[in-house]
Amino acid sequence: MPVTVSSVLSSLSCLAAIVPAVSAGFAFPDCVSGPLANNSVCDDSLDPLTRAKALVSVLTIQEKINNTGSTSPGVPRLGLPAYTWWQEALHGVASSPGVNFSAKGDYSYATSFPQPVLMGAAFDDELIKAVATVISTEARAFNNDGRAGLDFWTPNINPFRDPRWGRGQETPGEDPFHLSSYVRALIDGLQGGYDPKYKRVVATCKHFVGYDMESWNGNIRYQFDAQINMQDMVEYYMPPFKSCARDSNVGAFMCSYNAVNGVPTCADPWLLDDVLRKHWGWTNEEQWVTSDCDAIQNVFLPHEWASTREEAAALSLIAGTDINCGTYYQNHLPAAYSQGLINESTVDQALIRQYSSLIRLGYFDPAEKQPYRQLNFSHVNTPEAQKLAYQAAVEGIVLLKNDGGLLPLDLRNNKSIALIGDWANATTQMQGNYFGQPPYLRSPLHAAQQLTTVYYATGPGGQGDPTTDHWLPVWDAAAKADIIIYVGGIDNSVESEGMDRHAVAWTGAQLDVIGQLAQYGKPMAVVQMGGGQIDSSPIKHNANISALLWAGYPGQDGGTAIFDILTGRAAPAGRLPITQYPADFVAQVPMTDMTLRPGPNSPGRTYKWYNGTAVYPFGYGLHYANFSVSFGPGDGPLVAAASKNKTKNTDASDNNNKGTGVVHIADLIAACNSSSSSAVSHIENCPALNLPVTIRNTGTNTSSSSASDYVALLFLTGTFGPAPHPARSLVAYTRAHNIAPGDTQTVRLPITLGGLARVDERGNTILYPGAYSLVMLDEEQKEVLAKTEFKLVGSEAVLDRWPQPTASRTPRHKGTGEVGEGYFIGGFGSGSSGMVKQGAR
Ligand SMILES: O=[N+]([O-])c1ccc(O[C@@H]2O[C@@H](CO)[C@H](O)[C@H]2O)cc1
């Protein structure tokens, strides 16, 4: 039956009634005896696309538009159940509109892992895959009990560009190679492989792209127009998303609140179609894009990209935003349709993508045919999951200072501890944000009390409490104890969603307390908490404070992990995944400046480009043991290509930099082409060199003789491509486990062709002739421990030609003067879409 304008308009009036509030439960369609039983969507011998098309073909336009929001009512007349698309699982199944924890008993908790920034510090992709596998297992158990959907809006994979960012804690760190590798492992665990018959869950890479500022100096995320040049875009902002789309086959993307170079990302066909779908080959119709929550509304206001609400909805849908988090599509697409701004096939495409993804999750299939329908609460927070949450915290914690070998602490003879600070008895704080209900939260105080006598006192109180009344117990505790441990720093009261920082220093009150504690002259350690770094120079340079740890947001067993490291039950081996800048960094560059390279108004950003002296650099992390490192002879296309030359070949075993190989770029590319397996989806991913690295635990001067992990970070330096050159770039990493004193372990580091390339000003990825060095630095990132060099000669080669944005980026509609709509004012709440209503004019 043809759809008439009046039928569409009449649907408008009933939308409010059709779209329910937050869905309180998930049901599966009845494919046995329900109205859809004879529709091909229920035929599991067909492919997902054919099945989804069959379902969509029997929906009316009203029914289609009703189901374009994050809370979709389904189609009651067809027995198609309601479905909530918005589930969160940043570091465990998390409280969010589609997730329903019970008050007690079964499903009242899920495993709560550390925040990603601490898991990033582990530099252990196998750990990340294991964590993600637990999360997807628990998510499935929740789904089987009707307590969650099957898609999760995680990971947050925007690089942590500026230390002030309130949500940097949600990311694995600042380095694009690290994030790209981490996210591959994560998606593998969440989805259950690259292209499984049944996905475990659908993951969602967010926020595409250029989103890394909440609210700073009057700039807010809903309105911000990030100015990003093509070089930084491709080199820095895009790689994690490329890894999601091209290399990991992620099921979903989320476009962001901000605009990029004038265009709101959710309405940008260049980003969502030219780059994401066409350039990265994310063409599978089982994959969809959702908007960030109410981001379509923001396309109208405050971005003023569209002249009407209908136009904002239409432009976004046409650009490729298939789901709208919120109700904006459901409210405004009917009028957009009746005004001829969209046609039905565009709505069909969005729905086909949604339903084929649910089909790939087994939503329409019989339970007995599926691997995940049998999971239940006995698979949630298992002893193995608990161990993994603990291990993830231990692996991430970074030892920043250990003068005189104070750590590991010697608690023999019943030495007592004064445990002081706002984090000393932290519980919920240890989870950061986007958390669920944990099974338990073991605080530092709890952990310390298992070990010895503890005198506990809270710290100066909050982040800026002017009173000092509650400082008295601090001195009392310090006077009584043998050892002083201060646990503080920052938390989500100063860094969070919607809140960036203005300072990256410790609060004055905390520094005053720490300084006075140091004057007791007792053995003293500080534990710095929080996701963003704070300038710890006053602690680093205080001779009376022997030790400093960074412990991020360590999750459900954080206190145990911290004290096991402090006392040597576990060995520290995490590395900083972000630069710890000096406090004056924030005066040197506005947060809104998106450039990476240094310039007249910026000292540069990240370890690659920052031209000042970091307090602690990216990659920094001490151990209790000492290690030596050496490279073995590498193999792979680079070595094969080098052997074509008469000159001395690449000799990766030479740590002292005597061996120099010369490689013709054309030979290298030919060798890559002939060696690449079908698993390599793009020449950038060709493993150009496999470098064996032998790591030896040479023992320890401390009382601890236990084994230790060691993170191998391989950096590329050299002069190739146009100046300026980055200080160094991470091109490979791995974590070796449990190396006993005197033992060695050899790991193999793959360096891809793309890892050797640089990006030009137009965003093209190019292999340049020049001098290349691969180096591993010591744990302070100062001295070179091992190095191998080679030269590339011949003509430069383009590995990836970047699609240039088109003229369509010129503003469509600016200057209505209408501003003020669309400001996020609360947390998850009870609005019609499951969100708190945003500030209305
Ligand atoms: O209205 N709310 O309740 C609300 C809550 C969270 C929120 O943040 C956005 O929602 C998350 C969806 O995954 C994105 O990561 C984040 O940018 C936006 C709005």
pLDDT digits (tens, 9 = 90+) for 415-431: 999 999 999 999 999 99
| 590 and 559 assigned to the same domain | yes
**Ligand 1 centroid to residue 293 C-alpha, Å:** 5
C-alpha distance from residue 727 to each of 598, 610, 629, 776, 816 (Å): 12, 9, 21, 13, 46
Stretch 464-488: mean pLDDT, rounded?
92
Ligand 1: does its nearest atom lie under 6 Å from the Cβ of 208?
Answer: no
Residue with the smallest CA separation from ligand 1 atom 3 is: 828
Does the residue 11 lie in any domain? no
Inside any domain, residue 739: yes
Distance 810 CA to ligand 1 centre (A): 28
**560 and 668 share a domain?**
no
Side-chain-side CA neighbours of residue 622 (13 Å): 18
Q: Tell me, what's the pLDDT at 261?
A: 95
- Which of 769-773, 817-821, 837-841 comes out lowest in average pLDDT? 837-841
Residue 490 burial (CB count, 10 A)? 24
The CATH number of whichever domain residue 563 belongs to comes to 3.40.50.1700
Smallest Cα–Cα separation from 322: which of 94, 56, 5?
56
pLDDT digits (tens, 9 = 90+) for 599-617: 999 999 999 999 999 999 9
**Are 796 and 678 in a shared domain?**
yes
Whole-number Å distance, alpha carbon 605 to ligand 1 midpoint, is 27
**Does residue 496 lie within any of the structural domains?**
yes
What single-letter amino acid sits at 584? D
Residue range of the domain that includes 584: 383-609
Active-site residue identified among 232, 247, 274, 292:
292
CATH assignment of the domain containing 778 = 2.60.40.10
Read off the pLDDT band of 811 (50, 70, 90). low
**More confident call, 17 vs 306:** 306
Question: How much is the pLDDT for 644?
Answer: 83
At 726-762, the pLDDT tens digits run: 999 999 999 999 999 999 999 999 999 999 999 999 9
- Taking residues 128-136, what's their average pLDDT? 99
What is the average per-residue pLDDT within 670-678?
A: 81
Q: Is residue 59 part of a domain?
A: no
Same structural domain for residues 437 and 503?
yes
d(CA 299, CA 292): 11
Q: Could you give the CA distance from residue 625 to residue 709 in angstroms, rounded to a whole number?
A: 9
Question: Are 753 and 684 spatial neighbours (Cβ–Cβ below 8 Å)?
Answer: yes
Same domain, 601 and 631: no
Structural domains in the chain (count): 2
Confidence (pLDDT) at 37? 98
Q: Are residues 605 and 632 in the same domain?
A: no
| pLDDT, tens digit (0-9, with 9 covering 90-100), for 620-659 | 999 999 999 999 999 999 999 998 875 444 444 444 444 4
Q: Kindly state whether residues 670 and 590 are assigned to the same domain.
A: no
Q: What is the mean pLDDT of residues 236-256?
A: 98
Residue 1 pLDDT greater than 90, yes or no:
no
Please check whether residues 506 and 649 belong to one and the same domain: no
pLDDT at 391 over 70: yes
With 50 as the cut, is the pLDDT of residue 250 above it? yes
Please give the average per-residue pLDDT across 516-533, as a whole number: 98
Question: How much distance in Å is there from the Cα of 292 to the middle of ligand 1?
Answer: 7
| pLDDT at residue 834 is higher than 50 | no
Q: Would you say residue 655 lies in a domain?
A: yes
- Is 599 in the same domain as 637? no
State whether 573 and 470 are in the same domain: yes
pLDDT band at 840 (very low <50, low <70, confident <90, very high): very low
698 and 575, same domain (yes or no): no
**Mean pLDDT score of the chain:** 92
Ligand 1 within 6 A of CB of 599 = no
Residue from 755, 597, 766, 742 nearest 691 by CA: 755
* Residue appearing with tokens 């590798």: 181
- Whether this prediction's pTM lies above 0.90 is answered by yes
User: Higher pLDDT residue, 282 or 23?
Assistant: 282
The conformation of residue 301, written as its DSSP 8-state character, comes to T
The pLDDT tens digits for 776-795 are 999 999 999 999 999 999 99
- H/E stretch holding 290 reads strand 288-291
434 lines ligand 1 (CB under 6 A): no
292 assigned to active site: yes
Q: Domain for residue 565, yes or no?
A: yes
Q: What pLDDT, in 10s, does the model give residues 548-605?
A: 999 999 999 999 999 999 999 999 999 999 999 999 999 999 999 999 999 999 999 9
Predicted pLDDT of residue 467: 84
Establish if 320 belongs to a structural domain: no
Same-domain status, 639 and 588 = no
> Does a cis peptide bond (omega within 30 degrees of 0) precede residue 207?
yes
Mean pLDDT of 61-86: 98
Q: Whose CA is nearest to atom 2 of ligand 1?
A: 835
Looking at the domain assignment, is residue 764 inside a domain? Answer: yes
| Residue located via tokens 């898609």 | 151
